[in-house]
Amino acid sequence: MNKRAEDDGLGSETRPLLVRLDALGKSYHEAGQEKCVLEAVDCSIGVGQFICLLGKSGSGKSTLLNLISGIDRPSEGSVFIRENGREVELTALNEHRRTLFRRRNIGIIFQFFNLIPTLTVLENVALPVELASNDRKGHRRAGNLLDRVGLGDRFDSFPDRLSGGEQQRVAIARALIHDPVLLLADEPTGNLDEGTGDVILNLLLELSRDAGKTLIMATHDEDIASRADAVYFLERGQLVSHQARGPNADSRADAVQAKSCKVNTAAMQR
Ligand SMILES: Nc1ncnc2c1ncn2[C@@H]1O[C@H](COP(=O)(O)OP(=O)(O)O)[C@@H](O)[C@H]1O
Ligand SMILES: [Mg+2]
Protein backbone atom coordinates (compact mmCIF):
# COMPACT_ATOMS: atom_id res chain seq x y z
CA MET A 1 0.00 0.00 0.00
CA ASN A 2 1.00 3.54 -0.64
CA LYS A 3 2.90 4.65 2.45
CA ARG A 4 1.52 8.15 2.34
CA ALA A 5 -2.04 6.85 2.17
CA GLU A 6 -1.51 4.71 5.20
CA ASP A 7 -0.03 7.49 7.26
CA ASP A 8 -2.26 10.26 6.07
CA GLY A 9 -5.08 11.01 8.48
CA LEU A 10 -5.12 7.66 10.21
CA GLY A 11 -2.72 8.00 13.06
CA SER A 12 -2.47 4.24 12.93
CA GLU A 13 -0.75 1.99 10.43
CA THR A 14 -3.14 -0.87 11.16
CA ARG A 15 -6.30 0.75 9.85
CA PRO A 16 -6.50 0.97 6.10
CA LEU A 17 -7.74 4.14 4.57
CA LEU A 18 -10.29 3.91 1.78
CA VAL A 19 -11.14 7.46 0.68
CA ARG A 20 -8.98 10.56 0.83
CA LEU A 21 -10.14 14.00 -0.22
CA ASP A 22 -7.35 16.48 -0.81
CA ALA A 23 -8.15 20.21 -1.02
CA LEU A 24 -11.34 19.39 -2.89
CA GLY A 25 -13.23 22.37 -4.30
CA LYS A 26 -16.25 22.83 -6.51
CA SER A 27 -17.59 26.04 -7.98
CA TYR A 28 -20.35 26.65 -10.48
CA HIS A 29 -20.55 29.54 -12.87
CA GLU A 30 -24.01 30.98 -13.00
CA ALA A 31 -25.17 34.20 -14.63
CA GLY A 32 -21.59 35.41 -14.92
CA GLN A 33 -20.89 34.78 -11.23
CA GLU A 34 -18.79 32.10 -9.59
CA LYS A 35 -20.59 30.24 -6.86
CA CYS A 36 -18.36 28.25 -4.50
CA VAL A 37 -20.11 25.13 -3.17
CA LEU A 38 -17.11 23.30 -1.69
CA GLU A 39 -13.81 24.86 -0.73
CA ALA A 40 -10.55 23.08 0.14
CA VAL A 41 -12.23 20.03 1.68
CA ASP A 42 -9.75 17.59 3.23
CA CYS A 43 -10.97 14.32 4.73
CA SER A 44 -9.81 10.75 5.26
CA ILE A 45 -12.22 7.82 5.65
CA GLY A 46 -11.25 4.34 6.76
CA VAL A 47 -12.43 0.94 5.53
CA GLY A 48 -15.70 -0.24 7.10
CA GLN A 49 -16.79 3.12 8.48
CA PHE A 50 -20.33 4.51 8.50
CA ILE A 51 -19.97 8.22 7.84
CA CYS A 52 -22.80 10.74 7.93
CA LEU A 53 -22.76 14.00 6.00
CA LEU A 54 -25.14 16.51 7.50
CA GLY A 55 -26.05 19.92 6.13
CA LYS A 56 -28.95 22.05 5.07
CA SER A 57 -30.52 21.67 1.67
CA GLY A 58 -28.14 23.28 -0.84
CA SER A 59 -25.08 22.93 1.41
CA GLY A 60 -23.32 20.65 -1.09
CA LYS A 61 -23.97 17.11 0.19
CA SER A 62 -24.95 15.71 -3.21
CA THR A 63 -22.14 17.65 -4.86
CA LEU A 64 -19.61 16.04 -2.51
CA LEU A 65 -21.00 12.53 -3.04
CA ASN A 66 -20.93 13.08 -6.81
CA LEU A 67 -17.27 14.08 -6.59
CA ILE A 68 -16.42 11.02 -4.48
CA SER A 69 -18.18 8.74 -6.97
CA GLY A 70 -16.49 10.41 -9.95
CA ILE A 71 -19.86 11.27 -11.50
CA ASP A 72 -18.81 14.91 -11.31
CA ARG A 73 -15.37 16.54 -11.48
CA PRO A 74 -13.99 19.02 -8.96
CA SER A 75 -12.87 22.54 -9.81
CA GLU A 76 -9.77 21.86 -7.75
CA GLY A 77 -8.23 19.19 -5.56
CA SER A 78 -8.32 15.41 -5.73
CA VAL A 79 -10.26 12.32 -4.69
CA PHE A 80 -8.20 9.21 -3.94
CA ILE A 81 -9.80 5.80 -3.42
CA ARG A 82 -7.94 2.61 -2.58
CA GLU A 83 -8.29 -0.29 -5.00
CA ASN A 84 -6.38 -3.55 -4.57
CA GLY A 85 -4.17 -2.04 -1.91
CA ARG A 86 -3.11 1.08 -3.77
CA GLU A 87 -4.49 4.57 -3.96
CA VAL A 88 -6.09 5.54 -7.24
CA GLU A 89 -6.48 9.21 -8.01
CA LEU A 90 -10.04 9.03 -9.30
CA THR A 91 -10.04 12.68 -10.30
CA ALA A 92 -7.07 12.12 -12.61
CA LEU A 93 -8.94 9.52 -14.68
CA ASN A 94 -10.94 10.34 -17.79
CA GLU A 95 -14.72 9.87 -17.73
CA HIS A 96 -14.64 6.37 -19.22
CA ARG A 97 -12.08 5.16 -16.70
CA ARG A 98 -13.99 6.78 -13.85
CA THR A 99 -17.11 4.93 -14.97
CA LEU A 100 -15.25 1.62 -15.00
CA PHE A 101 -13.73 2.36 -11.59
CA ARG A 102 -17.19 3.17 -10.22
CA ARG A 103 -18.61 -0.09 -11.60
CA ARG A 104 -15.89 -2.06 -9.82
CA ASN A 105 -15.78 -0.23 -6.50
CA ILE A 106 -18.78 1.96 -5.71
CA GLY A 107 -22.49 1.37 -5.14
CA ILE A 108 -24.85 4.35 -5.07
CA ILE A 109 -28.30 4.70 -3.50
CA PHE A 110 -30.35 7.79 -4.39
CA GLN A 111 -33.24 9.56 -2.69
CA PHE A 112 -35.58 8.87 -5.62
CA PHE A 113 -34.42 5.28 -6.15
CA ASN A 114 -33.50 5.83 -9.86
CA LEU A 115 -34.73 2.42 -10.98
CA ILE A 116 -35.21 1.81 -14.70
CA PRO A 117 -38.98 1.64 -15.23
CA THR A 118 -38.87 -0.68 -18.26
CA LEU A 119 -36.82 -3.35 -16.47
CA THR A 120 -38.15 -5.83 -13.93
CA VAL A 121 -36.95 -5.82 -10.33
CA LEU A 122 -34.53 -8.68 -11.06
CA GLU A 123 -33.21 -6.99 -14.22
CA ASN A 124 -32.71 -3.68 -12.41
CA VAL A 125 -30.59 -5.36 -9.73
CA ALA A 126 -28.58 -7.46 -12.20
CA LEU A 127 -27.93 -4.55 -14.59
CA PRO A 128 -24.62 -3.27 -13.11
CA VAL A 129 -23.07 -6.74 -13.34
CA GLU A 130 -24.32 -7.22 -16.87
CA LEU A 131 -22.96 -3.82 -17.91
CA ALA A 132 -19.60 -4.68 -16.41
CA SER A 133 -19.24 -8.23 -17.70
CA ASN A 134 -21.66 -8.37 -20.63
CA ASP A 135 -23.26 -11.64 -19.57
CA ARG A 136 -26.23 -12.81 -17.51
CA LYS A 137 -24.37 -14.21 -14.51
CA GLY A 138 -25.75 -11.34 -12.42
CA HIS A 139 -29.23 -12.88 -12.26
CA ARG A 140 -28.39 -15.49 -9.66
CA ARG A 141 -26.64 -13.03 -7.38
CA ALA A 142 -29.46 -10.52 -7.94
CA GLY A 143 -31.97 -13.17 -6.84
CA ASN A 144 -29.99 -13.87 -3.66
CA LEU A 145 -29.78 -10.17 -2.81
CA LEU A 146 -33.48 -9.65 -3.45
CA ASP A 147 -34.17 -12.49 -1.01
CA ARG A 148 -31.99 -10.70 1.54
CA VAL A 149 -33.86 -7.41 1.18
CA GLY A 150 -37.20 -9.21 1.52
CA LEU A 151 -38.30 -9.10 -2.12
CA GLY A 152 -37.81 -12.74 -3.02
CA ASP A 153 -41.34 -12.90 -4.43
CA ARG A 154 -41.16 -9.75 -6.61
CA PHE A 155 -38.49 -10.62 -9.19
CA ASP A 156 -40.78 -10.06 -12.17
CA SER A 157 -42.58 -6.94 -10.94
CA PHE A 158 -41.90 -3.59 -12.55
CA PRO A 159 -40.81 -0.69 -10.31
CA ASP A 160 -44.11 1.21 -10.65
CA ARG A 161 -45.89 -1.69 -8.92
CA LEU A 162 -43.75 -1.28 -5.81
CA SER A 163 -44.09 1.04 -2.82
CA GLY A 164 -41.36 3.61 -2.15
CA GLY A 165 -39.82 1.41 0.54
CA GLU A 166 -39.83 -1.60 -1.78
CA GLN A 167 -38.21 0.44 -4.55
CA GLN A 168 -35.47 1.51 -2.17
CA ARG A 169 -34.91 -2.15 -1.21
CA VAL A 170 -34.37 -2.88 -4.91
CA ALA A 171 -31.96 0.06 -5.13
CA ILE A 172 -30.01 -1.25 -2.12
CA ALA A 173 -29.74 -4.69 -3.73
CA ARG A 174 -28.60 -3.04 -6.98
CA ALA A 175 -25.95 -1.02 -5.14
CA LEU A 176 -24.55 -4.22 -3.59
CA ILE A 177 -24.68 -6.45 -6.66
CA HIS A 178 -21.05 -5.95 -7.71
CA ASP A 179 -19.80 -6.21 -4.12
CA PRO A 180 -18.37 -2.66 -3.98
CA VAL A 181 -16.03 -1.58 -1.18
CA LEU A 182 -17.76 1.78 -0.94
CA LEU A 183 -21.46 2.61 -0.68
CA LEU A 184 -22.68 6.16 -1.18
CA ALA A 185 -26.25 6.96 -0.12
CA ASP A 186 -27.78 10.34 -0.92
CA GLU A 187 -30.67 10.92 1.51
CA PRO A 188 -31.83 7.31 1.04
CA THR A 189 -34.76 7.70 3.44
CA GLY A 190 -35.62 11.27 2.39
CA ASN A 191 -38.58 10.22 0.27
CA LEU A 192 -40.00 7.64 2.66
CA ASP A 193 -42.35 7.95 5.64
CA GLU A 194 -40.65 7.72 9.02
CA GLY A 195 -41.48 4.08 9.77
CA THR A 196 -40.46 2.87 6.32
CA GLY A 197 -37.34 5.04 6.47
CA ASP A 198 -36.30 3.39 9.75
CA VAL A 199 -36.73 -0.09 8.30
CA ILE A 200 -34.74 0.83 5.18
CA LEU A 201 -32.00 2.46 7.24
CA ASN A 202 -31.68 -0.61 9.45
CA LEU A 203 -31.52 -2.85 6.40
CA LEU A 204 -28.85 -0.71 4.76
CA LEU A 205 -26.75 -0.54 7.94
CA GLU A 206 -27.07 -4.28 8.55
CA LEU A 207 -26.12 -5.23 5.00
CA SER A 208 -23.22 -2.79 4.81
CA ARG A 209 -21.85 -3.76 8.24
CA ASP A 210 -22.20 -7.49 7.59
CA ALA A 211 -20.22 -7.14 4.40
CA GLY A 212 -17.65 -4.71 5.87
CA LYS A 213 -18.58 -1.91 3.47
CA THR A 214 -17.70 1.72 3.97
CA LEU A 215 -20.93 3.72 3.88
CA ILE A 216 -21.06 7.48 3.32
CA MET A 217 -24.58 8.81 3.77
CA ALA A 218 -25.92 12.30 3.17
CA THR A 219 -28.90 13.03 5.39
CA HIS A 220 -30.89 15.77 7.09
CA ASP A 221 -31.71 13.41 9.91
CA GLU A 222 -29.72 13.90 13.12
CA ASP A 223 -31.10 10.60 14.51
CA ILE A 224 -29.39 8.74 11.69
CA ALA A 225 -26.20 10.68 12.36
CA SER A 226 -26.31 9.55 16.00
CA ARG A 227 -25.64 6.01 14.76
CA ALA A 228 -22.66 6.88 12.59
CA ASP A 229 -18.99 6.25 13.36
CA ALA A 230 -18.18 9.80 12.28
CA VAL A 231 -20.30 12.81 11.41
CA TYR A 232 -19.37 15.76 9.22
CA PHE A 233 -21.33 18.94 8.78
CA LEU A 234 -21.25 20.89 5.52
CA GLU A 235 -21.61 24.61 5.94
CA ARG A 236 -20.54 27.46 3.67
CA GLY A 237 -18.39 25.15 1.59
CA GLN A 238 -16.52 23.78 4.61
CA LEU A 239 -16.59 20.25 5.99
CA VAL A 240 -16.57 20.36 9.77
CA SER A 241 -16.00 17.25 11.85
CA HIS A 242 -18.51 16.48 14.60
CA GLN A 243 -17.98 14.15 17.50
CA ALA A 244 -18.69 10.56 16.52
CA ARG A 245 -21.39 8.93 18.62
CA GLY A 246 -22.05 5.61 16.86
CA PRO A 247 -21.52 2.14 18.33
CA ASN A 248 -18.05 1.85 16.83
CA ALA A 249 -17.11 5.45 17.39
CA ASP A 250 -14.84 4.98 20.39
CA SER A 251 -12.83 2.09 19.06
CA ARG A 252 -12.65 3.39 15.53
CA ALA A 253 -12.47 7.13 15.93
CA ASP A 254 -8.80 7.05 15.05
CA ALA A 255 -9.59 5.62 11.64
CA VAL A 256 -11.48 8.66 10.51
CA GLN A 257 -10.33 12.19 10.74
CA ALA A 258 -11.16 15.47 9.12
CA LYS A 259 -7.93 17.27 8.50
CA SER A 260 -7.64 21.01 8.19
CA CYS A 261 -11.39 21.42 8.45
CA LYS A 262 -10.74 24.94 9.55
CA VAL A 263 -13.28 27.61 8.90
CA ASN A 264 -12.18 29.75 6.00
CA THR A 265 -13.11 33.28 6.97
CA ALA A 266 -13.21 34.47 3.37
CA ALA A 267 -15.78 31.78 2.59
CA MET A 268 -17.79 32.70 5.69
CA GLN A 269 -18.14 36.27 4.52
CA ARG A 270 -19.60 35.34 1.14
N1 LIG B 1 -25.13 22.04 -12.09
C2 LIG B 1 -25.21 23.05 -11.22
N3 LIG B 1 -25.11 24.34 -11.62
C4 LIG B 1 -25.17 25.36 -10.75
N5 LIG B 1 -25.34 25.19 -9.41
C6 LIG B 1 -25.47 23.93 -8.95
C7 LIG B 1 -25.41 22.78 -9.82
N8 LIG B 1 -25.55 21.66 -9.06
C9 LIG B 1 -25.69 22.07 -7.79
N10 LIG B 1 -25.65 23.43 -7.73
C11 LIG B 1 -25.74 24.25 -6.52
O12 LIG B 1 -24.81 23.78 -5.58
C13 LIG B 1 -25.32 23.92 -4.26
C14 LIG B 1 -25.23 22.60 -3.55
O15 LIG B 1 -26.16 21.70 -4.13
P16 LIG B 1 -26.31 20.21 -3.63
O17 LIG B 1 -24.99 19.56 -3.61
O18 LIG B 1 -27.37 19.57 -4.46
O19 LIG B 1 -26.81 20.42 -2.13
P20 LIG B 1 -27.51 19.40 -1.11
O21 LIG B 1 -27.37 18.03 -1.70
O22 LIG B 1 -26.79 19.59 0.19
O23 LIG B 1 -28.93 19.83 -1.00
C24 LIG B 1 -26.73 24.46 -4.40
O25 LIG B 1 -26.70 25.85 -4.18
C26 LIG B 1 -27.08 24.14 -5.82
O27 LIG B 1 -27.98 25.06 -6.35
MG1 LIG C 1 -28.79 16.63 -2.21
Query: Is 165 among the domain residues?
Result: no
Residue 130 maps to a domain: no
Of the candidates 52, 83, 82, 46, the one whose C-alpha atom is nearest the C-alpha of residue 65 is 52
Classify residue 47: in a domain, yes or no: yes
pTM, whole model, 2 decimals? Answer: 0.86
Ligand closest in space to the Cα of 35: 1
Structurally, the chain folds into a number of domains equal to 1
User: Is residue 31 in some structural domain?
Assistant: yes
Distance from C-alpha of 219 to C-alpha of 261, rounded to nearest angstrom: 20
User: What's the CA-to-centroid distance between 23 and ligand 1, angstroms?
Assistant: 19
With respect to residue 173, please indicate whether it lies within any of the assigned structural domains.
Answer: no
Query: Nearest bound ligand to CA 185?
Result: 2
Residues 143, 120 contacting (CB under 8 angstroms): no
The answer as to whether 61 is a domain residue is: yes
Q: Per the domain annotation, does 247 fall within a domain?
A: yes
Residue 239 lies in a domain: yes
Q: In this predicted model, what pLDDT tens digit does every residue of 227-244 receive, in sequence order?
A: 999 999 999 999 998 765
What is the per-residue pLDDT across 160-172, written as a single tens digit (0 to 9) for each? 999 999 999 999 9
Residue 129 has a pLDDT of 87
Give the distance (Å) from ligand 1 centre to CA of residue 57: 9
Cβ–ligand 1 distance for 111 under 6 Å, the answer: no
Q: Whose CA is nearest to atom 2 of ligand 1?
A: 28
| Alpha-carbon span 183 to 50, nearest angstrom | 9
Domain harbouring 74, CATH code: 3.40.50.300
Could you tell me the residue range of the domain that residue 252 belongs to? 3-115+180-268
